């Protein structure tokens, strides 16, 4: 008799599916981004340059919209780490996109408070209004709809984050058209801002 569990070591076990990013076009930081990154790196000891990896990846997204394999290799070379180190960060954090996204990325929080307050219906209405499915981008390249795990504003549920920086709070399915039309007409200026910012004012 053995106390070790019997594992069915057959097909389907012990398979690893490693994320392989698209190489994309050749990538190098613009002189402005490179200078900005070099200045940022001066805030770390020389042996800790790779601590700037998240900022570097934000710069990649600002420059080309999403992060490709070639961009990861360039970041690794510039900050002094391996491409695998950069890839680990890209694939861990949800704010980095490995495929092209729209001008406005709408991420609907689906964690408990938002879920209980109808986030699923908000996502469905967004997709219906924009004629896309979750994780898809509109034909005009303006909007990408995604779901997100916890935006940290449970008392304002349901919440939508726009472009990793702006919050649209207390969003019901009936508010979706106003949100989208406002972004089309006035861009980010149409958003009323995060409650934390407003409460500090």
Q: Which parts are annotated binding residues?
A: 109, 114, 150, 154
Classified as helix, coil or strand, 28 is coil
In whole angstroms, give the CA distance from residue 162 to residue 102: 11
Scanning the structure block, which residue is given the tokens 């992060």? Answer: 67
| Helix residue ranges, H only, the chain | 31-41, 53-64, 69-79, 83-92, 112-116, 119-130, 176-186, 195-200
Alpha-carbon separation of residue 76 from 12, 45, 54, 60, 168 (angstroms):
34, 17, 11, 12, 35
Where is the binding site for [2Fe-2S] cluster, in residues? 109, 114, 150, 154
């Amino acid at each position: 008799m053995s106390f070790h569990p019997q594992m069915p070591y057959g097909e389907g076990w012990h398979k690893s599916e490693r994320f392989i990013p698209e190489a994309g076009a050749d990538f190098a930081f613009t002189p402005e981004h490179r200078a900005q990154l070099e200045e940022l790196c001066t805030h770390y000891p020389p042996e800790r340059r790779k601590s700037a990896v998240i900022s570097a990846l934000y710069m990649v997204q600002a420059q080309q919209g999403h992060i490709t394999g070639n961009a990861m290799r360039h970041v690794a070379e510039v900050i002094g780490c391996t491409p695998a180190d950069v890839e680990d960060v890209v694939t861990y954090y949800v704010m980095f996109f490995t495929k092209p996204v729209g001008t406005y990325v709408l991420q609907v929080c689906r964690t408990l408070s938002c879920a209980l307050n109808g986030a699923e219906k908000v996502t469905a209405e967004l997709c219906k209004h924009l004629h896309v499915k979750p994780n898809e981008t509109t034909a005009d390249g303006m909007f990408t709809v995604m779901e997100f795990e916890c935006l940290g504003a449970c008392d304002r549920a349901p919440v939508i984050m726009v472009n990793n920086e702006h919050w649209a709070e207390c969003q019901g399915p009936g508010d979706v058209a106003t949100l989208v039309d406002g972004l089309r007409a006035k861009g980010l200026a149409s958003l009323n801002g995060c409650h934390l910012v407003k409460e500090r004012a």
